[in-house]
A and B are shown apart, each in its own frame.
Chain A
Amino acid sequence: MHTQTVAQLIQGLRDKRFSSVELTRHFCARITELNPVYNAFITVNEAAALTAAAAADERLAKGDAAALTGIPLAHKDIFCTQGLRTSCGSKMLDNFVPPYSATVIERFQGAGTVNLGKTNLDEFAMGSSNENSYYGPVKNPWDTKTVPGGSSGGSAAAVAAMMAPAATGTDTGGSIRQPAAFCGITGLKPTYGRVSRLGMVAYASSLDQGGPMAHTAEDCAILLNAMAGHDPLDSTSANVATEDYTAGLEKPLNGLRIGLPRQFFGDGLDAATGECINAALQELERQGATLVDITLPHSELTIPAYYIIAPAEASTNLSRFDGVRYGHRCESPQDLHDLYTRTREEGFGDEVKRRILVGTYALSAGYYDAYYKKAQQARRLIHGDFMTAFEQVDVIVGPTTPGPAFALGAKTDDPVAMYLEDVYTLAVNLAGLPGMSVPAGLVHGKPVGMQLIGPHFAESRLLNVAHRFQQATDWHTQTPQTGGDA
């Protein structure tokens, strides 16, 4: 059962080949067996999942099942789940059990899914390797000596190791796409505002976006159908009509204009990874797409702009973790200052502290104009680059990452090298665009991803291109040797 896609599992449930309880039990057994190896889950929700599965089976039996009734999913531990700990990978929230659920969680509940548990992540989604978790690093199922990527590393590893058929992730600078690439799965970061952020603990409010991670583009489309939509309780949620994201999957690619940004195929790109992307592009060309060389002239501003804006927003988003109302509080504080400083000193990890300090600095009087304001100007230029490009092309394609997964510990002492991992993904968040990562080959036995970028609200187009590509290739069906035989 674990090798099947969500689309196949839906059919299997309808055809009564297995029940939701059987399915849930099966995935829980795989989690029990494999999680000690990969550390993909922070919290397993087995008892509640089985209860929900039993309820789903009743609905299936009665014939009033919703689209995803009975499908087990894993959720990144940054989506608040009522009554179930939501840690954000941080000691700060190790004891935090939300009295409410994120809109995304409620929508999935409404659609009938079963929550298997909460997946590991870089603390507060800050990281590109999942090594910044209070609960320890996640191991890449393709090679446990390498990182799964981050920050949605737990979700990516859980899907890759088939501990869950699909999972939710969040993407602020590449946190869905990069781990999807490293773990050989398909991930979609929707347009900013397409998916509600309510109940999704904020890292950088103007960049954060939730999205699906699964084996196929079709599964991502099915999950996006449940996730997407306007939320009046999230003021930045777009009041733009949703569509059936599965409807256009099969459309032929004849006449599709694909833009290849010069800046995405330059020096920093690993040669073997570049070859995989070129081979993938040939396949798209074979299906009728035309390749167009384009330029994104302000690309070099991407990393500096991102690493000012994201920490600036994070530095104040994380001010609420002060030990006063919930979460970690230091032992016997002497006074208010002691309460704040020790609580935050103890509760946050190094990378979170680094970004709070950088962000605080960037917003400080006397530096605001030089940093934050400049970064916002750069952001507008980057956005403008994409808008110009989309006058000539329908979709932009390139590598998701400069290379395949790197070794655990390889970049932990060099934050800037770590930041460079996201060189191709960050701009998409700065411009608020939808982006996908699709498995496009193996380099020394490790997966690499092809990134697809579309205009705002063009999720269907990206899913269409990805799906057609997956109809002609089998990279997305390749699985790591997990040793799991449950």
Chain B
Amino acid sequence: MQWETVIGLEVHLQLATRSKIFSGSATDFGAEPNTQASAVDLAMPGMLPVLNEQAVRYAVMFGLGIDAHIGMRSVFDRKNYFYPDLPKGYQISQFSDPIVGAGQFEIQLEDGSSKQIGITRAHLEEDAGKSLHEDFHGMSGIDLNRAGTPLLEIVSEPDIRSAAEAVAYLKTLHSLVTYLGISDGNMAEGSMRCDINISLRPMGSEKLGTRAEIKNVNSFRFVERAIRHEFERQADILESGGRIVQETRLYDADRDETRPMRSKEVANDYRYFPEPDLLPVVIDEQYVAEIRKSLPELPADKRQRFIEQHQLSAYDAGVLVDSPALADYYEQVVAACGDAKIAANWVQVELRGQLNKNELAIEASPVSANSLGQLITRILDNSISGKIAKQVFEAMWQGEDSADEIIEARGLKQVSDSGALEAMVDQVIADNAAQVTQFLEADDGKRKKLVGFFVGQVMKVSKGQANPQMVNKLLAEKLK
């Protein structure tokens, strides 16, 4: 049987506020345990939550970024369950009246096509603390630094059909929230965590199958693997005539498998009710309009602009707008050199290659956008060839001076002096009589291939500095 995978994702996005959603404690990652936990975070008796306005603002920014309905009156609810890292015994969340309603955005797939994914809702809530089960000799440690960190839970429609689409969705989401500046999107630090709802149905069927929920998957790679694994598991069950049990499962990255969570780990009645310690959040049109005005250019718009303005392919534009810093860098290179296409090539191939190899973010690039632009200018004005440019770039990456200084200091300037080039061409023709004969006897098709040999020889003689266009022209004249 051919199975169709139906996937909906719930992403818990950590918002980049400086303080927690209901207290003044800092939200920095990696602090000593319990040093960022106030009386409110510890749920000391009599303590009360006060909503962080910045979290509301970020949620509205997200809502506007996906063209969603904004909840002008949203309500916080208590979600009740007992766990030691949940100090109040309830999580403050939003249940029936979320701050962001239905919206959608377009994801870019690897093959260059795109797809609309519906967003059901996004709501604000607080994160729990962490339970640490190792190192305490049969006891558990509780770190409440994370308790109260603001989260935006983004719930998608079951519009996703494959692991690749799920990853594309997450990457698009990651890009959007990074552009908006509402989250650092650091998955390794848990800033973006994902629950996967997945079911199978016979290809062509409209009816949804029974789903399993895979909790707390925290990297693109694990999402992909968890979905692939879960697909196999469910397909095996269905094909052997079994039925899928609706349940919550855990992805174990070490064993690369999903397994059911113990029933104790899953509360089934959260007894939601409106949080009486907080008033409903009421915002007005003016507040929304002011936020709308302050939004940066979003990745989808920027991609479209790159395609139109810089004549880039959808794929290239997609790669370059991936992060706002990369897009800005690219546009600076364009401004410095004036050639959008060559700039795109250099940024994508040479620069990103080096960045990836050295695991550096674009912000940490040792070659500035202006320097790279200057280097490209030297290719464009025929001072150096593309090949030499790569050498220069390598030197720049190692921290040497500007392109011009490197070219000057190493004498890499391209030889475009026709007299000097003619001498080199003559020498190569004289030294390779056999190849010349072969060339002259060949037909036009073969000649095209053979001419490369002579070009290569001239480049060798010139130590790579000969102007290739001129060499080609001279060879064409001499080899008649």
Given the complex, which residues of B lie within 8 Å of A340, measured CB to CB? 82
The minimal Cβ–Cβ distance linking B359 to chain A, given in whole angstroms, is 40
Q: Which positions 55-93 of chain B face chain A at CB distance < 8 Å? A: 78, 80, 82, 84, 87-90
B residues at A contact (CB < 8 Å): 39, 42-51, 78, 80, 82, 84, 87-90, 142, 264, 269, 271-273, 276-279
Top 4 nearest A-B pairs (CB, nearest first) are A319-B89, A205-B276, A363-B271, A206-B276
User: B82 contacts A202, CB within 8 Å?
Assistant: no
Q: Does A48 contact B (CB under 8 A)?
A: no
Q: List 7 A-B contacts (CB under 8 A).
A: A80-B45, A96-B45, A198-B46, A199-B46, A202-B277, A325-B42, A368-B273
User: A364 contacts B45, CB within 8 Å?
Assistant: no
Decide yes or no: A234 and B45 within 8 Å by CB, A205-B276, A320-B88, A365-B269 being known contacts. Answer: no
Given the complex, which residues of B lie within 8 Å of A360, measured CB to CB? 271
The B interface, classified by DSSP as helix, strand, loop or mixed, is loop
User: B51 contacts A235, CB within 8 Å?
Assistant: yes
Complex Cα gap A65–B276 (Å): 38
Q: Does A98 contact B (CB under 8 A)?
A: yes
The A interface, classified by DSSP as helix, strand, loop or mixed, is loop
Complex Cα gap A235–B82 (Å): 25
Given the complex, which residues of B lie within 8 Å of A98, measured CB to CB? 44-46
User: A100 contacts B277, CB within 8 Å?
Assistant: no
Given the complex, which residues of B lie within 8 Å of A236, measured CB to CB? 48, 276-279
The minimal Cβ–Cβ distance linking A3 to chain B, given in whole angstroms, is 34
User: B273 contacts A197, CB within 8 Å?
Assistant: no
A residues at B contact (CB < 8 Å): 79-80, 86, 88, 93, 96, 98-100, 102, 197-202, 204-206, 232-236, 312-313, 315-316, 319-320, 322, 324-326, 336-337, 340, 360, 363-365, 368, 372
**Which among B47, B50, B51, B276 is the interface contact of A313 at CB below 8 angstroms?**
B276
Given the complex, which residues of A lie within 8 Å of B89, measured CB to CB? 316, 319-320, 322
Given the complex, which residues of A lie within 8 Å of B273, measured CB to CB? 312, 316, 363, 368, 372
Complex Cα gap A297–B44 (Å): 41
Decide yes or no: A233 and B50 within 8 Å by CB, A319-B90, A363-B80 being known contacts. Answer: yes
User: A235 contacts B46, CB within 8 Å?
Assistant: no
User: A316 contacts B277, CB within 8 Å?
Assistant: no
Residue ID in chain A nearest B82 by CB atoms = A340
Q: Could you say which of A80, A312, A324 has the most chain B C-beta atoms within 10 Å of its C-beta?
A: A324
User: A325 contacts B87, CB within 8 Å?
Assistant: yes
Given the complex, which residues of A lie within 8 Å of B90, measured CB to CB? 316, 319
Given the complex, which residues of A lie within 8 Å of B78, measured CB to CB? 316
Complex Cα gap A325–B45 (Å): 11
Decide yes or no: A235 and B276 within 8 Å by CB, A202-B46, A319-B80, A320-B88 being known contacts. Answer: no
Could you list 18 further interchain pairs (A-B, Cβ under 8 angstroms) beyond the known A199-B47, A315-B271? A88-B45, A98-B46, A102-B46, A198-B46, A199-B46, A202-B277, A232-B50, A235-B48, A235-B49, A236-B48, A236-B277, A319-B80, A319-B89, A320-B43, A322-B89, A360-B271, A365-B269, A372-B273
Given the complex, which residues of A lie within 8 Å of B39, measured CB to CB? 99-100
Complex Cα gap A272–B43 (Å): 47
The minimal Cβ–Cβ distance linking B55 to chain A, given in whole angstroms, is 14
Residue ID in chain A nearest B78 by CB atoms = A316
Decide yes or no: A319 and B88 within 8 Å by CB, A99-B39, A235-B277, A372-B273 being known contacts. Answer: yes
Given the complex, which residues of B lie within 8 Å of A364, measured CB to CB? 269, 271
User: B82 contacts A322, CB within 8 Å?
Assistant: yes
**Which among B42, B48, B264, B271 is the interface contact of A234 at CB below 8 angstroms?**
B48
